Structure 1
């Protein structure tokens, strides 16, 4: 489904009319079901997504363990995909839809042309760089300095905020994967948080109190 100019997301409101016309002529709007892998490590990037609705999780994986890097929210993009595409290098991250997602897909060959022809598009991606850099610093800080109970509770609160859902349908294994730890660690810390009255473990979900 191609885009109409009135459907251009707010993130593009500062762009020149000529660039907006280029985007509407070439970008594809796509609905992507929840839990769909849209990019994997080693894969060459063909399109750069701009999220219109929904949520995309970006993470890395090493020796069977995952570490959540950041989420792509509405009106945001994946700066690591942008960087890999401009350098024509394979991706070093995974991207999976966390919710049913509507995205605008920008062909990488067109984006490369636009960065040369329309300097204003660079502002968009510089803004994304700044946003992701801050989030990655925060992730590193959590991993290095925060106790697991704080990391876990902050993670669950962020999930509620991002998805507008409480209770959350999450398994201990899924949480462990995203936080880069073992399921047994999550189960132990979850019991501690529950005893402190911060959450309630239901049969198939977790409720933040």
Structure 2
């Protein structure tokens, strides 16, 4: 996938700007589970997902993770270039959910492009707004939705993502996704199993009754 396919404003750039973007971009293969960006401590650069899946998450003061959103093929990861964004002053971590092929553009190159190109700046603002919309949706879920509904929605979305109703998941990993405690997730899994919605074994969750899970999830499904 060519770099220009990620940027709808590409044709508005000068030949010199296009050449600098192309020359500075490097291809990188991230292994599953690799943490690419560790909040403000890092400034990897703008990441463009050629294939694979990235997970953006944050960590509370107590060390509890919660997934904010995921990035798929053709998505652009803005927060990995946080040092180029003056308004970004909080920690977001980026991890490869599966082996992923990426383009990485140095932050100083993209920052200069935003200063020179109004379409590039507008694209960046729209991207930022989209990410914050995802975060606000998640905040509403955490504050206003029951955990059993969020868990059902997560399992259904994970099954769709993996194209399988058999999921290799630990309770600790699910807790990290939902910002909960492992013990709470274990109790919820037992409840879903007692209701015949899932079958749980060590490191594995089998979706048994998708219709019941969908009903439970309600508007927690995106």
TM-score (norm 2): 0.82
2:127 equivalent to 1:128: yes
Q: 1:48 aligns with which of 38, 46, 49?
A: 46
Partner in structure 2 of residue 80 of structure 1: 79
Query: Post-superposition shift, 1:38?
Result: 0.7
Could you tell me which runs of 5 or more consecutive residues in structure 1 were left unpaired when the two chains were aligned: 1-5
Tell me, in whole angstroms, the C-alpha distance in 2 between the residues paired with 1:174 and 1:161. 17
C-alpha offsets along residues 48-69 of structure 1, whole Å, 9 cap, x if unaligned? 2111111111111121211111
Could you tell me which runs of 5 or more consecutive residues in structure 2 were left unpaired when the two chains were aligned: 209-222
Q: 1:92 to 1:102 in 2, by over 3 A?
A: same
Task: Name the Cα RMSD after superposition.
Answer: 2.2
- Count of residues in correspondence between the two structures: 204
Equivalences for residues 19-168 of structure 1 within 5 A: 19-62=17-60, 63-87=62-86, 92-168=91-167
Query: Post-superposition shift, 1:82?
Result: 3.5
C-alpha offsets along residues 99-129 of structure 1, whole Å, 9 cap, x if unaligned? 0011110100100111122222223323322
TM-score (norm 1): 0.87
| Deviates most, 117-126 or 148-157 | 117-126
| Deviates most, 14-23 or 73-82 | 14-23
